[in-house]
Chains A and B, each alone.
Chain A
């Protein structure tokens, strides 16, 4: 208890991942679902940095993976928000239950 090991940090990132999963399961608003996806991506980033720091301190690969994940998350958020705005124009709503034309 007197020293933070990698297990503590993995606890935080695992808990954050499953909080994001809970949000993705329960929310039906597209913007809040996007927020849940951001939480999940951030928990993965914490894992990369923690493994880099505690297991391979002489290398930098985890840092690079974190940078690339952040970049791709930014691109993903931009495309998702473009889709959300387009959906709002055609349906006047961003609830996923209202956009069921292609469901079956």
Chain B
């Protein structure tokens, strides 16, 4: 038991505890805050695994972007102090059973599988390496997925505007 192991257990407990509370609490705003805690815990796990760049990306995009978006949409659509109705008893019991069975099955496969681990000490992610390989057009370069993802983001942005746009003016034109 050295410090790294203890820190890993603390981070895991934070992730799983906040995750369980995020899907079971009945106040929707609290669910969003527990989701935030869980995502911060995942960022801490990335720091623990020494991939600082991914941890920074996780904090910037998830904590700074998606959770803020979710909280805004909660304020737009709900009275955040109200409690949500309880899920049906049958539904929660059978969901818990299926989830527990699925977890036991999957973890049994993971536990009995022998991974061919190499020494983890040599793993280091330099941001310059990520940038070079991301924009490389040679073998193992990721420039094509990079461009495709940029088109996807553009499409998602235009799609969001079109979907969320109020259609009142068009109706007014057709009515008049």
Contacts and interface: CB of A to CB of B under 8 A. Distances in A.
Interface of A: 1-12, 14-16, 18-23, 25-29, 31-32, 34-36, 38-39, 42, 45-46, 49-50, 52-58, 60-61, 63-64, 66-68, 70-79, 81-86, 88-89, 94
Interface in B36-56: 38-39, 42, 45-46, 49-51, 53-54
Contacts of B160: 78-79, 81-82
Nearest to B21: A19
Interface of B: 1-2, 4-5, 8, 12, 15-16, 19-20, 22-24, 28, 31-32, 35, 38-39, 42, 45-46, 49-51, 53-54, 57-58, 61-62, 65-66, 69-70, 73-74, 76-78, 84-85, 87, 91-92, 95-96, 98-100, 102-103, 106-107, 110-111, 115-120, 122-123, 125, 129-130, 133-134, 140, 142, 145, 149, 152-153, 156-157, 159-161, 163-164, 166
> In terms of DSSP, what is the predominant structure of the interface of chain B?
helix
Contacts of A35: 22-23, 31-32, 35, 70
